[in-house]
Copies of this chain bind each other. A is one copy, B any other.
Amino acid sequence: MVLNLDLINKLLRGDKRTCARMITKIENNEKEAEDILKGIYEHTGNAHIIGITGPPGGGKSTLTYRLSKELSNQGKKVGIIAIDPTSPFTGGSILGDRIRMNKLATDPNVFIRSMGTRGHLGGLSKATHGGIKVFDAYGCDYIFVETVGVGQSEVDIVKTADTVVMVMVPGLGDDIQAIKAGIMEIADIFAINKSDLEGSERTTREIRMMVEMGNEEKKPPILNVIANQNEGIRELIEEIHKHKEYLISTGKLEEKRLERIRSEIITLIEDEIKSRIFNDKDVYKLLDNVLKDVYNKELDPYTAKDKLFKAII
């Protein structure tokens, strides 16, 4: 625990290397990770957590890059958790984006951490929640969580942000009706990126119609941006701030954060149960024993589950 206290103090003093080491420990689900997170928890809650999401190819990384640069220029400290959207497969320009993002790495006010969607022993959600807390205690004013808008686990993660920016692009066409319900549910702000492209007006109009027809208490604002030309970035930051003020003044920030804590605790419990069960040698042996029976149709997987469940409890 001495080591941890030392580490924690270093983090609170803003030591970048300590920040990196802690997140690595969390990603690797090391034993120490939980003690660290317990220790830093009381120093969290100051950062504004912003989810950046939307369909592939929308320029989310570029937008995150521009937002971070602008905030850094204003003297703010920024953390970015990029949940690698395309591992194990990747499309077009992703690597290019990553290279561009890496330019930020030399900015002392910005800390970037890319997390793959695979290979997290304790689950991506747990790693992301942990990473956010480290950035928060480290003193970040803003934490961006960037994730592609597909994948069950990925959507669940971004939903827990204070403010969710949905990045859209021109050319969604008629499909917009089909996606109405899902999007309205989680978007706090719409940013229509690549607004210099053909079809941008139509997309804006369609999203506006969709927003107006919704019965949300607060209609999400719609902004036109061109991230790679740095256009509309300040306005977007302005809207992000307004959204935070709205959350505070209505008491919704507390509501949202309580919901985030609930979801995090549930994840932690599930994880604890999983690791206890599947690290238990007897359970593993029993599982191995029933596998062949299930394969040979002498047992079905559901009865096998019941059997194992009884043995566990």
Which residues of A come within 8 Å of B, CB atoms? 34, 37-38, 41-42, 45, 53-57, 85-92, 94-95, 117-118, 124, 148-155, 166, 171-175, 178-179, 181-183, 185-186, 254, 257-258, 261-262, 264-266, 268-270, 272-274, 277-278, 287, 290-292, 294-295, 297, 300-305, 308-309, 312
Interface on chain A toward B: helix, strand, loop, or mixed SS? Answer: helix
**Which of chain B's residues have a CB closer than 8 A to the CB of A95?**
174-175, 178
- Select A277's contact among B38, B85, B153, B269, beta carbons within 8 Å: B269
**Which of chain B's residues have a CB closer than 8 A to the CB of A179?**
86-90
In whole Å, how far is A267's beta carbon from the nearest beta carbon of chain B? 9
B54, A89: Cβ atoms under 8 Å? Answer: yes
In whole Å, how far is A89's beta carbon from the nearest beta carbon of chain B? 4
Copies of this subunit: 2
A124, B152: Cβ atoms under 8 Å? Answer: yes
Instruction: Please list 27 pairs of residues, one from A and one from B, whose beta carbons are closer than 8 Å in the complex, sorted by A's number.
Output: A55-B89, A56-B57, A57-B91, A85-B150, A87-B150, A88-B149, A88-B179, A88-B181, A88-B185, A89-B179, A118-B182, A148-B150, A151-B152, A151-B154, A152-B154, A254-B295, A258-B291, A258-B292, A262-B291, A265-B290, A265-B291, A265-B305, A268-B302, A268-B305, A269-B305, A272-B305, A272-B309
